Structure 1
Amino acid sequence: MADIMSSRCVALLLLVSVAAQAASGVTDGLLPNGNFEQGPAKSELNGTRVTGKNSIPNWEISGFVEYIGSGQQLDDMILPVPGGAWAVRLGNDATIRQQLSVTRRGYYTITFAAARTCAQADTLNVSAGPESGVLPIQTVYTSSGWDSYCWTFKARHSTVWLSIHHPGHEDDPACGPLIDSIAIKTLRSPPRPKGNMLRNGDFEEGPFIFPNTPWGVLVPPMMEDVHSPLPGWMIMSDTKVVKYVDSPHHVVPHGSYAVELVAGRETALVQEVSTTPGKWYALSFSVGDAGNGCQESMIVEAYAARSRMQVPYSSRGTGGSKRARLEFAAVDKVTRVVLQSDNHHMKHDGTLCGPVVDDVSLVSVRKHAARRLL
């Protein structure tokens, strides 16, 4: 009898062990083998193509997936790998996915690095359970060719499959983007601070930024703030993005994070707030540059109700900022606050850049005063 009980205990422990390996528990940072440094055995490679469904530890694959080393030549291109020595390339109808243990009804943001190779109009489909999104990656924002993207989901269950899928159907089945450095972060809903009607006006809550990536994270078009990687804010655009930047790698006007408007008039940063028609409000915010060599004469446009203002900023590319203030009378019960760059800007290396906005606040005021710059 003792032997039978012992055998049952061993079997139960094995089942628990298998279940623990099947779904990775979420902690902020790199996913298990999220940088693909643990690769397939040589017997599971046909050249660079991965042949087995479970050949890459912690990942399940389907379609045309390649295992690529840093410095390896792809056609006429040689690309470095940002998160170590290895990355994967997703060819035609290729998917990588990993099962995660999460908190039901919790919000999570995914950050990953991607580099476009031979396709010109690439997109990636990212999903977690029934949640999904399409990320356009045809525009390159760094001189290295690698950009970091983010996407947010709400967990419907305690276990989800996180998938990144390349839907391409190119003549060359291997043609597709490189993927590396996949991380996750629990996203918290910041309350409206006292004295500010806006949520997350200082942008201190946002996607995970890898400490060794100096190019920030691109936040894709997001028409709903419920699932936005920048809680409280929507990114209004068809295909363009804004860039989330941190103080270790950029000059930030306030706190540790800010937003760089890198796509000109093709995108806008938007938040909706409850207002009282006829009542006056003051919108204040900082405009500056990220200290990343973007030497341009910039203009940030601000809209609220029927009021509009342009805030000029002459950037030397070394950092700095100034405050602006727009006072307006609300015309509806809900007012959209809109911040937008007036134009496209480029650094000397040809990469896109733009003005930084930060420390955005909205307060009610007793009477109308003239619009002014501080």
Structure 2
Amino acid sequence: MALCVARDIDALSRDTVPYGKNYPMPVFAAEILGFGLGLVANGNFELGPKASDLKGTVVVGGSKSIPEWEISGFVEYIKSGQKQGDMLLVVPEGAYAVRLGNEASIKQNIKVLKGMYYSITFMVARTCAQEERINISVTPDWGVIPIQTLYTSSGWDPIAFGFKAESETVEMLIHNPGKEEDPACGPLIDSVALRTLYPPRPTNQNLLKNGGFEEGPYVFPNSSWGVIIPPNIEDDHSPLPGWMVESLKAVKYIDSEHFSVPQGTRAVELIAGKESAIAQVARTIPGKTYVLSFSVGDASNSCEGSMIVEAFAGKDTIKVPYESKGKGGFKRAALKFVAVGPRTRIMFLSTFYTMRSDDFSSLCGPVVDDVKLISLRKP
């Protein structure tokens, strides 16, 4: 049950990776077989309960009422444009979504390749609870993701969660652990998708893994919001391979179809000031000289003003100013340093908080891309 039904076309053109114990088959073979390529079965909830299984919006027909899903607790089937008091409930894709009330959950079994890494991307919107959060799990991985901070003006955030498949079929569960006086005060869920992740490796041209951020979570092709990658403390296996989100707030994963990207088709936007940081630990040789180079720009999303990206390589640091007009563009920067240990932590963060000028409610920030770490033969 629940093979993915969409196709991630760009993945089919990627080079194959070494395979064997940890890689059961070449990349393109796994992709063609349909593992990890888009929406899971009925991932957008357009197939709904029978009329007899609904009491108003509440699903009352039992755990199998929503096709391809198993539900428990107070689950509502929401139609776009529906009102709750003075609040209008908007659905980001299609006409329907589900709402998880007190202690409610939805789950689905998904066929995967054992030993491979995956990322789930799903759309979530808070409604009327005070401290809404989502518990997502794919055994044995799980995380509690706070959804109090809204990163998009639409109210819907695409959120990514990474996991490693421990068997050929895994159970994906999305749960609302909240307890409100009004059981209907819970998050809305829509558009649940899956993508296979292929762990990148350093090369002699770049000691960092996934320096161009090309490997990452599924990006909805009809969405201009990017994907929110929550703090690493919420996620044991990063949906952004090679990188950790070492901060209190999330970072945004963006694509060239909807944003300005300095290089390739993917990049990272640092959207929450110093609370939004990415990091990676690289192998280095003590006493050897290295150069960390990278691009700083803006996503052409009306994020305007003076920005500064702070880059760290161990104890060395550089501040790179960027004056954004919110219409795209980038500059290169470099930090030369001498390694003091066998491992050096590389980290990027944004100095300032920035809001989009077109809606004054969406967090935004500088874009980081094309990150390279090389050693110099002569200091």
TM-score by length of 2: 0.89
Distance 2:333 2:157 in 1: 31
Shift in CA distance, 260/102, structure 1 to aligned 2, threshold 3 Å? same
What is the Cα deviation at residue 22 of structure 1? 7.8
Cα contact 1:305–1:329 (8 A) shared by 2: no
Say yes or no: does 1:278 pair with 2:287.
Answer: yes
In structure 1, the residue matched to 2:149 is 139
- Which SS does the other structure have where 1:58 is aligned? coil
Match of 2:119 among 109, 112, 135: 109
In structure 2, the residue matched to 1:29 is 38
Shift in CA distance, 249/70, structure 1 to aligned 2, threshold 3 Å? same
Match of 2:375 among 341, 364, 371: 364
Distance 1:243 1:214 in 2: 12
Match of 1:83 among 93, 97, 105: 93
> What letter corresponds to residue 149 of structure 2 in structure 1?
T
Say yes or no: does 1:156 pair with 2:147.
Answer: no
In structure 1, the residue matched to 2:20 is none
Cα contact 1:111–1:151 (8 A) shared by 2: yes
Distance 1:283 1:360 in 2: 7
> What letter corresponds to residue 152 of structure 1 in structure 2?
G
Distance 1:193 1:333 in 2: 17
In structure 2, the residue matched to 1:39 is 48
Distance 1:22 1:212 in 2: 21
What is the Cα deviation at residue 225 of structure 1? 9.2
Cα contact 1:23–1:159 (8 A) shared by 2: no
Bigger radius of gyration? 1
Distance 1:321 1:107 in 2: 32
- Which SS does the other structure have where 1:55 is aligned? coil
CA RMSD of aligned residues (A): 1.5
Gap runs ≥5 in structure 2: 5-33
In structure 1, the residue matched to 2:336 is 327
What is the Cα deviation at residue 26 of structure 1? 3.7
> What letter corresponds to residue 173 of structure 1 in structure 2?
P
Deviation string 1:89-125 (CA, Å, 9 cap, x unpaired) is 0110010000111111111100000111112321111
Deviates more, 1:252-261 or 1:112-121: 112-121
Shift in CA distance, 22/110, structure 1 to aligned 2, threshold 3 Å? closer
Distance 1:248 1:230 in 2: 18
> What letter corresponds to residue 343 of structure 1 in structure 2?
F
Cα contact 1:263–1:352 (8 A) shared by 2: yes
> What letter corresponds to residue 254 of structure 2 in structure 1?
V
In structure 2, the residue matched to 1:339 is 348
- Which SS does the other structure have where 2:201 is aligned? coil
Match of 1:305 among 307, 314, 323: 314
Q: How many residues align?
A: 347
- Which SS does the other structure have where 1:53 is aligned? coil
Cα contact 2:162–2:236 (8 A) shared by 1: no
Cα contact 1:225–1:231 (8 A) shared by 2: no
Cα contact 1:270–1:338 (8 A) shared by 2: yes
Distance 1:241 1:22 in 2: 29
In structure 2, the residue matched to 1:119 is 129
- Which SS does the other structure have where 2:91 is aligned? coil
In structure 2, the residue matched to 1:255 is 264
Distance 2:374 2:235 in 1: 21
Distance 2:55 2:65 in 1: 12
What is the Cα deviation at residue 224 of structure 1? 9.6
- Which SS does the other structure have where 2:242 is aligned? coil
Deviation string 1:17-60 (CA, Å, 9 cap, x unpaired) is xxxx4887744101110000000011111111111211000000
- Which SS does the other structure have where 2:154 is aligned? coil
Runs of 4+ in structure 1 off by over 4 angstroms are 21-25, 223-226
- Which SS does the other structure have where 1:297 is aligned? strand
In structure 1, the residue matched to 2:19 is none
Distance 1:343 1:134 in 2: 27
Distance 2:234 2:93 in 1: 31
TM-score by length of 1: 0.90
Cα contact 2:163–2:236 (8 A) shared by 1: no
Say yes or no: does 1:204 pair with 2:230.
Answer: no
Shift in CA distance, 234/22, structure 1 to aligned 2, threshold 3 Å? closer
> What letter corresponds to residue 361 of structure 1 in structure 2?
K
